Structure 1
Amino acid sequence: MAEIRMSVDIERWPFAQPVRITGYTLTDAPVVLVTLTDGIHTGRGEASGVYYHRETPQSMAVQLEALRGAVEAGITRDALIRAMPAGGARNALDAALWDLEAQRSGMPAWRLAGLAAPAPLRTTFTLGVDAPAALAATVARMPHARAIKLKLDGDVADLDRVLAVRRARPDVDLYVDANQGWSAAQLRRLLPPLAQAGVKLIEQPLPVGADAALREIDHTVPIAADEAFIDLADLPALRGKYDVVNIKLDKCGGLTRGLELARAARSAGFGVMVGCMGGSSLAMAPAALLGQCCDLVDLDAPTFLAADRAFAVQYDEGFLTCPSALWGGGSLATL
């Protein structure tokens, strides 16, 4: 088999406008790009890393360079899981290995993964923290959205934000994400009006390590673990606290692990969603393949960008598809 060469590049993808979440204001998506080539075929993978784990493109590039010898000697995806910890660096390399294998074999990544041919996925569209009136005006300009996720931050306007969006768009499925920004008392107070407003999911309301109270709270709205769920070892501690787990490839370290997590979480009785950090369409493609196995899809990161890659993800009437030329050898071609 031909010798593999790896290149590691750092890119920044500016946002069209800043996005505010709990504790952060984001202005761009810095990513690491891994390219693998054997001189004929090329595989690519992109990752943003996990910002709250202090991952940066620079730190991920260091991890990748440390594994260069094994990569260029032909590391497999299974061996990669043993050689590198979960996180963005492993995600980018894992995606590049999938893409390269698809090119070499002539088989799309979905077939290599043992999945059915992908269908378009309904995705949520995320709104950052803003004033209620501004949020209402924004969603009124989003007739394509069939599902909306609101970022909330724990201040007194959170419920007003939800109600303003619900009045402006009574037709959409509505989800909220507190990014660890609430206390148990706030959650108890907000649950009844959020349920009345038709909110379908609350994502990570309490801080990691301070979420034991979830066992004592009536889940009138299902609760999803995001920051509290990284890998397989986390599942037992989530029982009784969460109803759904949010798998992000940057957290778990790639599609190979993500597919395993989806099966394990469902076997353990959890609902399964796929989310993302930041990034371009290239980061969404492997996550969208995982999305074929999930109950809820939250893969709208490229919609925040001022510009995207060639062969970008297509968002149409609230659904996403990935063009065959983007990643995975036609794995996500529109049916």
Structure 2
Amino acid sequence: MRPRKLSLRIERWPLAVPFRITGHVIDAACLVSVTLDDGYHTGNGEASGVFYLGETPESIAAQIETARAPIEAGITRAQLLDVLPPGGARNAVDAALWALESQQQAIPVWRAAGLPAPRALLTTMTIGTDTPQAMAEAARALTHARALKIKLDGTAADAPRLAAIRDMRPDVPLAVDANQGWSRAHFDAMIPLLQQLGVGMLEQPFAIGADACLEHIDCPISLAADESFQDLADLPEVARRYDVVNLKLDKCGGLTRALDLATHVRDAGLSLMVGCMAGTSLAIAPAFLLGQQCDHVDLDGPIFLARDREPSVVYTDGLLHCPPQTWGHAGAPPFFR
């Protein structure tokens, strides 16, 4: 193992406007960036962590510090799985290790991972919770979006919100994300409207641990597990309740683990989605590779930032492009400028 120097930095990347979901308002991507330097090559990664599990940039940085010695001694990505638990800390270090390995071998990360050359991905664009009029206007402004995800919070305003968006954008597929915020009564009331308006997917309607009722509901709309799926131990219950699993690198602890989990999810007969927390293009680049194996892609985090990291991913006509210089080897200078 080749030794390397580990550097950490807590960063705050403001959003252009605050973004609201059930029970939470996000005004910035607060994250930890990681750099690994072996004296000749550098690898970079970032993570925001899982806010609803109590992770913060400070807790992520502290957790990484507990593993500084093995990381700097030359730990591998496989060994990292036994050193740090799932979550933001392992994700940030795993991404930096992928990028460092890519630089050392002078090959792109996708090739180091044994994956085919990546293609542009159709990604949903997300509309945060607001008044019906404001959400409809946000849908209108996303002229380049070819699929929309709508954040709904379980209140009486959800029905007019969704109807206003569908009136404004009759041309695009819609998905709804409740972020654990619905009651069973609200679920029962909303499902007919979701059907009427052509919503294709409902994500995480109930809170973690409160979704057992889904085992006994024949829902006419595809159900996706986000918060209910953190790692492999959750899969048996999720497979009985949901149709889709939303894999996020901050939840499972990095691309290395996510690629393995994707196989298990497929084997369980479920579809795959890749999502993201608030972050810059450096967080999206590893998820973009996971997205090559997914049926649904929700990787729009950087579009909400007032300013993204450079070089950045590119969004055109609803598609996500990840230029080679964004992360890992591309014959380009180090990521941070």
Structures share fold, TM-score greater than 0.5: yes
Q: Secondary structure at the match of 2:208?
A: coil
Q: Which residue of 1 aligns with 2:32?
A: 32
Q: Which residue of 1 aligns with 2:334?
A: none
Cα deviation for residue 22 of structure 1 reads 0.6
The Cα offsets for residues 228-272 of structure 1, whole Å up to 9 and x where unpaired, read as 001111101112211100000000000000111111101100110
Cα deviation for residue 330 of structure 1 reads 4.2
The Cα offsets for residues 185-219 of structure 1, whole Å up to 9 and x where unpaired, read as 21122111101211011010011111011112222
Assess if the C-alpha contact under 8 Å between 1:13 and 1:28 holds in 2: yes
Q: Which residue of 2 aligns with 1:146?
A: 146
Q: In the aligned structure 1, how far is the partner of 2:24 from the partner of 2:37?
A: 37
Cα deviation for residue 328 of structure 1 reads 2.4
Q: Which residue of 1 aligns with 2:307?
A: 307
Please list every run of 5 or more consecutive structure 2 residues that lacks an aligned counterpart in the other structure: 332-337
Q: In the aligned structure 2, how far is the partner of 1:208 from the partner of 1:28?
A: 25
The Cα offsets for residues 35-61 of structure 1, whole Å up to 9 and x where unpaired, read as 000111000000000000110111111
Q: In the aligned structure 2, how far is the partner of 1:306 from the partner of 1:239?
A: 38
**Residues 202-221 of structure 1: pairs in structure 2 closer than 5 A:** 202-221=202-221
Q: In the aligned structure 1, how far is the partner of 2:114 from the partner of 2:192?
A: 42
Cα deviation for residue 2 of structure 1 reads 4.6
Assess if the C-alpha contact under 8 Å between 1:188 and 1:217 holds in 2: no
Q: Which residue of 1 aligns with 2:48?
A: 48
Q: Secondary structure at the match of 2:209?
A: coil
Q: Which amino acid aligns with 1:295?
A: D
Assess if the C-alpha contact under 8 Å between 2:2 and 2:73 holds in 1: no
Q: Secondary structure at the match of 1:325?
A: helix
Q: Which amino acid aligns with 1:116?
A: P
Q: Which residue of 2 aligns with 1:64?
A: 64
**Residues 258-277 of structure 1: pairs in structure 2 closer than 5 A:** 258-277=258-277
Q: In the aligned structure 1, how far is the partner of 2:316 from the partner of 2:197?
A: 26
The Cα offsets for residues 141-177 of structure 1, whole Å up to 9 and x where unpaired, read as 2210001101110100111111111111111110110
Q: Which residue of 2 aligns with 1:279?
A: 279
Assess if the C-alpha contact under 8 Å between 2:121 and 2:321 holds in 1: yes
Q: Which residue of 2 aligns with 1:186?
A: 186
Q: In the aligned structure 2, how far is the partner of 1:238 from the partner of 1:210?
A: 12
Q: In the aligned structure 2, how far is the partner of 1:262 from the partner of 1:228?
A: 16
Q: Which amino acid aligns with 2:69?
A: G
Q: Secondary structure at the match of 1:207?
A: coil
Cα deviation for residue 134 of structure 1 reads 1.3
Asked if 1:171 is matched to 2:171, the reply is yes
Q: In the aligned structure 2, how far is the partner of 1:72 from the partner of 1:247?
A: 28
Assess if the C-alpha contact under 8 Å between 1:323 and 1:330 holds in 2: no
Q: Which amino acid aligns with 2:188?
A: R
Q: Which residue of 2 aligns with 1:73?
A: 73
Assess if the C-alpha contact under 8 Å between 2:2 and 2:74 holds in 1: no
Q: In the aligned structure 1, how far is the partner of 2:239 from the partner of 2:184?
A: 18
Cα deviation for residue 136 of structure 1 reads 1.2
Q: In the aligned structure 1, how far is the partner of 2:20 from the partner of 2:250?
A: 20
Q: In the aligned structure 2, how far is the partner of 1:311 from the partner of 1:143?
A: 24
Q: Secondary structure at the match of 1:240?
A: helix
Q: Which residue of 2 aligns with 1:236?
A: 236
Assess if the C-alpha contact under 8 Å between 1:43 and 1:100 holds in 2: yes
Greater Cα shift, 136-145 or 282-291: 136-145
Q: In the aligned structure 1, how far is the partner of 2:110 from the partner of 2:118?
A: 7
Cα deviation for residue 3 of structure 1 reads 2.7
Q: In the aligned structure 2, how far is the partner of 1:54 from the partner of 1:176?
A: 24
Q: Secondary structure at the match of 2:134?
A: helix
Q: Which residue of 1 aligns with 2:161?
A: 161
Assess if the C-alpha contact under 8 Å between 1:192 and 1:220 holds in 2: no
Aligned residues: 331
Q: Which amino acid aligns with 1:161?
A: R
Give structure 1 regions of 4+ aligned residues with deviation exceeding 4 angstroms: none
Q: Which residue of 1 aligns with 2:106?
A: 106
TM-score normalized by structure 1? 0.97
Q: Identity of paired residues, percent?
A: 57
Q: Which residue of 2 aligns with 1:93?
A: 93
| Cα RMSD (Å) | 1.1
Q: In the aligned structure 2, how far is the partner of 1:61 from the partner of 1:320?
A: 29
Q: Which residue of 2 aligns with 1:124?
A: 124
Assess if the C-alpha contact under 8 Å between 1:125 and 1:148 holds in 2: yes
Q: 1:330 to 1:191 in 2, by over 3 A?
A: farther
Q: Which amino acid aligns with 2:40?
A: I
The Cα offsets for residues 6-57 of structure 1, whole Å up to 9 and x where unpaired, read as 0011000000010111111111010000100011100000000000011011
